[in-house]
Amino acid sequence: MLIKQVPDIEKVRFDVETGRVDRSSAPAETNPFDLNALETAVRLKEKLGGRVTVISMGPPQAESSLRDALARGADRAILLTDKRFAGADTLATSYTLATAIRKLGSFDLIVCGEKTVDGDTGQVGPEVAEHLGIPHVAYVCEVREVSEDRILVVSDMGDKYLFEVTLPALITVTKDINTPRIPTLRDVLKARRAKVEVWDADSLAGYGETCRFGLQGSMTLVTRITIPSEEGRRGIIFRGEDAVERLIEALRKEGFIP
């Protein structure tokens, strides 16, 4: 399963000059949706057997999120960290993660959060599946059945849909799927001594094209970051019996309707 360490979104600041997140401006935590993803994977392991491997791409301090994942029931933790991974957009991030998964060998199911609280794109999970050429279902709020070669899930896209896909597959999960467990002190202490493997760009060389990692592999470019000004916003409340007519008139005046 895949987890991302994110900055505390209430406190984080942006470096307007470079167009990047100033990670030193806020403490880091595991993306909350990824705790639901981890809980999903650990529950499946407890029911059906197998092993849960957690992968995160990020700076060296992301190791603390991986240790937390080990305390919560993961069996193996891998940190992808290298200056050559830096500046990655979602395409390069997902490509790097998919390359690491390819290096791991065979697997049945990849579980991701539906999105992160900082980047918030929800693109990485489905992109990883596309890179690996496996089916995926997003916004999964319930795993109904798992057999040797299939998984039956409910996806919440406003309305709920039932999907059956063949394994290996990837799912991204919503917060409604479960309540993540709190690790015991014993598990936390055990995880502190556990090994977190560190993989750099060279170690993935035989499994993907290293030119597709980081900034070099990114198709998007942040040209400018601006904070929208509050004064720019306007709100008008229409009340009374003729509210709808006046709303239509106002929208017409602004050119939103002919």
Helices and strands, number each (H, E), in the chain: 6, 12
CA distance 69 to 39: 9
Cβ-closest position to ligand FAD: 119
Name the 3-class secondary structure at 180: coil
Considering only residues 9, 12, 28, 86, which one is a binding residue for ligand FAD as defined by CB under 6 A? 86
Q: How far is CA 41 from the centre of its chain?
A: 15
Q: Which residues of 192-217 are buried (b: 16+ CB within 10 A; e: fewer)?
A: eeeebeebebeebeeebebebbbeeb
Map the footprint of ligand FAD across residues 191-220, applying CB under 6 A.
218, 220
For ligand FAD, which stretch binds (CB under 6 A), given 7-15, 52-60, 98-106, 146-154? 52-60
Site string for ligand FAD, 95-114 (x = CB under 6 A): --x--------------xx-
Q: How far is the CB of 114 from ligand FAD (least distance, A)?
A: 7
For ligand FAD, which stretch binds (CB under 6 A), given 66-74, 99-107, 120-128, 187-195? 120-128
Cβ-contact 249, 258 below 8 angstroms: no
DSSP letters along 182-199, please?
Answer: PPPHHHHHHHHHS-EEEE
Considering only residues 182, 221, 227, 237, which one is a binding residue for ligand FAD as defined by CB under 6 A? 221
Considering only residues 48, 104, 189, 222, which one is a binding residue for ligand FAD as defined by CB under 6 A? 222
Site string for ligand FAD, 230-249 (x = CB under 6 A): --------------------
Considering only residues 41, 88, 101, 141, which one is a binding residue for ligand FAD as defined by CB under 6 A? 88
CA distance 56 to 112: 11
Cβ-contact 98, 136 below 8 angstroms: no
CA distance 255 to 109: 49
Considering only residues 43, 122, 142, 164, which one is a binding residue for ligand FAD as defined by CB under 6 A? 122
Considering only residues 30, 31, 40, 174, which one is a binding residue for ligand FAD as defined by CB under 6 A? 31
Beta bridge pairs of residue 196 = 77
Q: Using CB under 6 A as the criterion, which residues of the chain lie in contact with ligand FAD when the complex forms? A: 2-4, 20, 31, 33-34, 37, 55-58, 86-90, 93, 97, 112-113, 115-116, 118-125, 218, 220-222
